[in-house]
Structures are given as C-alpha cells and as structure tokens.
A = this chain, B = another copy of it.
Amino acid sequence: MKWIRYSVDGDGDACYGILEDDRIVPVRGDPFGGYERTAQRLALADVRIEIPVIPPTFYCVGLNYVKHIATEGLKIPDKPDVGYRANNALLAHGRDVIMPADATRVHYEGELVVVIGRQARNIREEDAAQCILGYTIGNDVSERNWQASDRTFWRAKNADTFKPMGPWIETEADISSMETIVRLNGEITTQFATHDMLFGVARFISTMSRYLTLYPGDVLWMGTDGHSPDLRDGDLVEISLTGLGTLSNRFVRAR
C-alpha cells in the first residue's frame, strides 16, 4: 500500500491518501492514528505531492556503507550511533533544491528512509518490523566544504531544501532485494544493493529504542553508498529504490 501526502490547488493544506495506480483515494485521518477511505478519487497528475511526513524527530545514519566511508576517508564505525537532520530542510518530490550562492561542492546521497508507525521502546531486533509503517526515499544533500569546515552539519546538510524526501510511503517493500539507483540527468551515476548496510534497520531500531522512544512519524534515514559528482546548476537527480518509486529533484543555484 502506498501512502501519499498531497495538496490541491496550492491551498496549502496537506492531506493523506492512498495511491492506487495513478489515482488517489483521499482518507479521513492519517496512517498513524487510524483512517477511513472516502468515496472521492483524484488523479495523481492533479495534485501537488507533499513531504510524506513531518517527523517529530528526524534521525539519520551517517556512515553505514563501507565504500562510501572509504571514499570520504572516514573510519568505519564499530556501533550504530544515529545522528539527526532538521525539518526546515525537508523538500517534497519534484521541487527544486536551492544551492546557496556560496555552496561550491554539493553532492547527492540516495538513502532508504524508514517511517516509524507506532510508539516503541525497548524493541528486540526480531520485533523491529512491528513498529515500521513503511519506507520512502531520501536525498541527504551535502555541501562537502562546509561539512569539513563547520563543527556541525547545520548548513552542510540542513540548509533549506537540502533534504528531499518522498515521493510516498510504501508499506510492503522488501529491503532484502532492494537496489538503489541514482541518475544524474538521466545517466546512472550511483548503484548499490540497498541492504548492504554496516548495521541494518532492525539493529538500529533495537539499539536506539534502548535509550529513546520512537514515535509515529519519526523517520530514520539509513545512509548511502558510493560517491556523487559535484552538482551543477540545472542538474536533475533521480533516486530510485526498488518498489519505492523515484524521488526527483532539480538542483538550482540561488540567484
């Protein structure tokens, strides 16, 4: 099942619906607190796709694929220490990533995103799936010079528009056979087995939940593999994960 968050006519109010082929079934309620299908139908082409969820807490795994860690010249972590990103930076599918005038080395990072469906604390690895609503796609856009020069990731990874997420939440994906493919202007530039993580989803959820409560709508971005070229004004980045669709965003220089 595909949960889509959308708005109509730019009236600003985002609603949840269920995406069936290219039709949306609007619902009363939401995927977290319960819902009812309505009799209405909308064409996907007639709505604006919105960020699929505004997370109470925005978790993001920094280093979770061996090749990426090596390329960035970093040490392989010995345990799953999760990090954070910021809601101001979230951007919906189809909208432009704005590269600030002084951003000189902007990269994409294609990531699997786990969406938490229910409140959870002290979860065993074998039970982790029970607190997951579904999966979507994230682009952990990064400015590498700021990442090196600043003490935190505040602008390197959290400048406005630096966190595209979407297009929707798929509740029935199979991570074990998933592939991540990133296309730059139509050409494949990065490709990796999504599940080839240093620490998997269940391990992260179990470890985190020993110390913290996961809440409905929290998101956990799972890290990336490979390496991005430096992005230029007008570049189109499309990230496809098997079964989850494609997250597309154009990168535009701020004027």
Contacts and interface: CB of A to CB of B under 8 A. Distances in A.
B212 A151 contact: no
19 contacts: A57-B87, A77-B151, A81-B154, A82-B152, A82-B154, A83-B151, A83-B152, A83-B154, A84-B152, A84-B154, A88-B214, A88-B215, A100-B210, A100-B211, A154-B211, A155-B212, A158-B212, A160-B211, A160-B213
A159 interface: yes
Given A56-B88, A86-B57, A87-B57, A81 B150 contact: yes
A212 B57 contact: no
Interface residues of A, number: 34
A212 B150 contact: no
A159 B100 CA distance: 34
Interface on chain A toward B: helix, strand, loop, or mixed SS? loop
A62 interface: yes
Copies of this polypeptide in the complex: 2
A85 to B, nearest CB: 8
A49 interface: no
Interface of A: 54, 56-57, 59, 62-63, 77, 79, 81-84, 86-89, 100, 121, 150-152, 154-155, 158-160, 208, 210-215, 218
Contacts of A86: 57, 59, 84, 212
A208 B155 CA distance: 8
A81 B151 contact: yes
Contacts of A210: 100
Given A100-B211, A159-B212, A152 B88 contact: no
B213 A151 contact: no
Nearest to A63: B151
Contacts of A159: 211-212
Contacts of A59: 86
A151 B218 CA distance: 21
A227 to B, nearest CB: 21
